[in-house]
Structure 1
């Protein structure tokens, strides 16, 4: 198994669909490592992530990891390769804008540090909220955004109501933030060079409702008397 530099990974152009599955592989590998598993197979990773084994092998081939016939993949080595591909060999600063119920819940989420992210700031424009302690940080006013987002690699999270999200997005971009996770139920307009990931709980529930409805409408198999 050969190591691949971040530059090489970018040059190869890993498909978005593969990138979306890499965190699942890393989570499965971390669990395996915690149980003392030294090596694994594409079949085991497939079972742990719900992905076909052929897809697992194809995804990992983008990292230069092809496994060893009869042995499989070294769990530690593969974990490092995936972490490197995802940029998780360092901590990424994260700031959350919007200290409503969702924002506070995310601020209290204990998985940031374990995932390679450092929560550095919480922000809100409501004077009644600014200055309050939340999850060990003090909520800052939006006027502090340029200073708090000074690091060029800061990731922004929007947890405001939909009507305020675009304004917050514009402010983040103006402050130099080019990677944004949006929880607001609205599509954001951003210039080229800005990456936005949308988390829409309502949409996901609607998709689940669709599949549930389809299953309930499926013809029932006749039961022999």
Structure 2
């Protein structure tokens, strides 16, 4: 269940407004709605139907309407949703009405690419600091930012009011980096390292593992290949097994 700071509670950026207690599945879809809405606004659309927005995101319209109802947005019958208003509502719930500073730790190949990505600024984020443990990388200029040593993390986080950290280090170093981030007050971490992090309660971690996503796609490719291999008639019959794999009649006969 989502947890939100109560109105008026102390924090680095002061009091925040009350937020609806949204299901995690809804929270995960809101950025997709926001991306589609920005595209609609850029193409000149002022309103959009629930079916149109759902199709743009790839969800069914009933699920979309339920998600948006959590925000108090129900649209207008025969008109749909006001695109600009919905952008404002979702941006507010996601905390994107301010530009959030982010610290990126690890400027190897992946970190270098992330540091050079200009799309973060359009989504409400600013890479405020680049850090690495390799002193040979310190001083390197990437997309206008100078790489600093990880030892500078406490000072950087304090100066830039950073609460979000991105880990793009090799797996063996990721836990130590996470510990350092947590120790200086970072409460949200995006982890690109292929490992599971252990963090205290109250620290949110999102994991991005490109290899796992490719392996899932590999399964689907394997499944499609096994299905297309089924003979139409005659020959050695193949029987589909769980996961879309196949076994011959001979294998079934001997119980394999």
With normalisation by structure 2, the TM-score equals 0.81
Q: Which runs of 5+ in 1 are unaligned?
A: none
Q: Does 1:82 align with 2:90?
A: yes
Q: CA deviation at 1:7?
A: 3.8
Match of 2:128 among 107, 112, 120: 120
Match of 2:117 among 100, 106, 109: 109
Name the count of aligned residue pairs: 217
SS in 2 for 1:218: helix
Q: Does 1:210 align with 2:222?
A: no
> Which residue pairs with 2:194 in the alignment?
185
Greater RCO (Cα-Cα under 8 Å, separation 6 or more): 1
> Which residue pairs with 2:60 in the alignment?
52
> Which residue pairs with 1:137 in the alignment?
145
Q: Which runs of 5+ in 2 are unaligned?
A: 1-6, 8-15, 234-256
Match of 1:22 among 21, 30, 35: 30
Q: CA deviation at 1:46?
A: 1.1
Change (3 A) 1:78 1:202: same
Paired with 2:47 and 2:86, the residues of 1 have a C-alpha distance of 9
- Contact 1:152 1:177 survives alignment (8 Å): no
Alignment of 1:153-164 (within 5 A): 153-164=162-173
User: Which segment is superposed worse, 80-89 or 213-222?
Assistant: 213-222
Q: Does 1:172 align with 2:143?
A: no
Paired with 1:14 and 1:165, the residues of 2 have a C-alpha distance of 30
With normalisation by structure 1, the TM-score equals 0.92
- Contact 2:170 2:193 survives alignment (8 Å): yes
Change (3 A) 1:127 1:62: same
Q: CA deviation at 1:214?
A: 1.6
Match of 2:79 among 56, 71, 95: 71
Q: CA deviation at 1:8?
A: 3.9
Q: CA deviation at 1:218?
A: 2.3
Could you say which structure has the larger radius of gyration?
2
SS in 1 for 2:206: strand
CA deviations 1:66-119 (Å, max 9, x no partner) are 011111000000010010111100000001000100000000001111010111
SS in 2 for 1:140: strand
SS in 2 for 1:181: strand
Alignment of 1:85-96 (within 5 A): 85-96=93-104
